[in-house]
Structure 1
Amino acid sequence: MKGWIKLYRELLDKPIWHESTPEQKTILITLLMMVNHKGKEWEWKGEIYKCEPGQIVTSLPKIVEKCGKGVTIQNVRTALKRFESFGFLTDESTNRNRLITIVKWGVYQGEDEEETDEPTGNQQATNRQLTANKNVRSKECNKKNNSRKQVYDETSIHFQLAIFFYQKILANNPEHKEPNLQRWADDIRKMIELDNRTEEQIKYLMTWVQEDSFEMANVLSPSKLRKRFDQLVIKVKAQKKKVVPINKGRYIPKDSDFDMTAGEDWR
């Protein structure tokens, strides 16, 4: 692959850059270099498809290969969802491959015309068309920005707790269907930010419900855990007279962890 791309310095001031992880930044630049500079015919969904400039038919492993060492398929999957929420690209996938389109490719990567003192008729028409395209794309982008959902990085505490809970469920039922971990992470964020639960409290109850013979079949998502949080704490307190073995590596809550009944041992 030959040629070059334009990389605008104002990217440094955009949330898509300064809020991204190093792996996501690598993926972003790699995608800009991977997409087609000119139109190209490609097979897509069993039919001959002409990829426009700024598009490419590829796969997650191929993107990982192009990014190089340190980038995983999960990194790419998370980055694509995040970039799509920012209106940077669209991602249409099948079981075998995916069509990625850089939304503003024509605006930022269009060919430069040779500068003259006065624009020609063709240049004037082109400039008018670009202005119209920019306005349309700006409206589309604003709609996406207003409705976009938060995407959680796999290294965030919210996503990590979602994985932790899923692994606890799998220990009881290896056939349990893989959930939407992004949705789970968002429910966990609400518990922390809106309900003022701590990471330790959430993690302890996730473990407890999957060790309880009754609750392990009833609390199978963070949303359910959030809804029944106070009820579950009461059940934990009801068992406080039982001897709780201290297993290595398992968090044993302190009195101060739950402030629902000050000074009372809640275990």
Structure 2
Amino acid sequence: MNTWFKVYRDLFESDLWNDVTTFRLFILLIGKASHQDGVKVAGVELKKGQYLRSYRKLADDLSYKEGRGKKQYSIRTIHKAINKLISDGRVSKEETEQGTLFTVVNYAKYQDLTETNKKTGNETENELETFGKRSVNNNKNYKNYSIKESNKRDSRKQVYDDTSIYFQLAVFFFEQIKKNNPDHKEPNFQTWSNDIRKMIELDKRTEEQVQYLMKWVQQDEFEMTNVLSPAKLRKRFDQLVMKVKRDRPPSNVTPIDKKKYNYGF
């Protein structure tokens, strides 16, 4: 059923909120009640806000999952909850041959759109108009939403141990820097590892490319003082690759000893 109903905010501030069974029952009655006059159920013509149902079926409607099984309120519990709603002036009832006819008192307070409009003017029309615009723009916004969600997931906090390829490359880069400046301050290897991960996972750089550039920049007279972190290497990656291709790389750039660093490639 592709319909909807409102829930009055005062319910969350009432004593019903602390009575789970009665609250669930009341929400069920509001949601199932006829939203207009003249609806016939089992030969009974309902008025707006009325619902025809037996206590036994209400107990079944309110059944819930517990563990691997399904539990159900007793008929006595349903009677107790109904009586509370009646005493609170929220519901009235009438027995018929087809079942109990429940009436949500002041149903218009909960469900009539005219009540909403009295308080907020054209709020309902504006909401529908906004929803229409939102639907039209849904496809356009989906891409931006996906990007935001992707960035959100990527910003998750990670911890890299010393067996991680990202951590090992971070240590390797620091060792290359120390060859030029033995007193260089030790960095935050977790931050460096995360930047290296982004280069490989997000930017689709290969481990060999990252590794080569780390050594190359620290053997280039100009770049050795400019690229001193994986973040800077990532930012200038394409520019550095073009520079490597344009210029003859330093003759002493030699392959990495894979066994020494155990990079697994």
TM > 0.5: no
TM-score by length of 2: 0.37
TM-score by length of 1: 0.37
Larger Rg: 2
Q: Indicate the structure with greater helix content.
A: 2
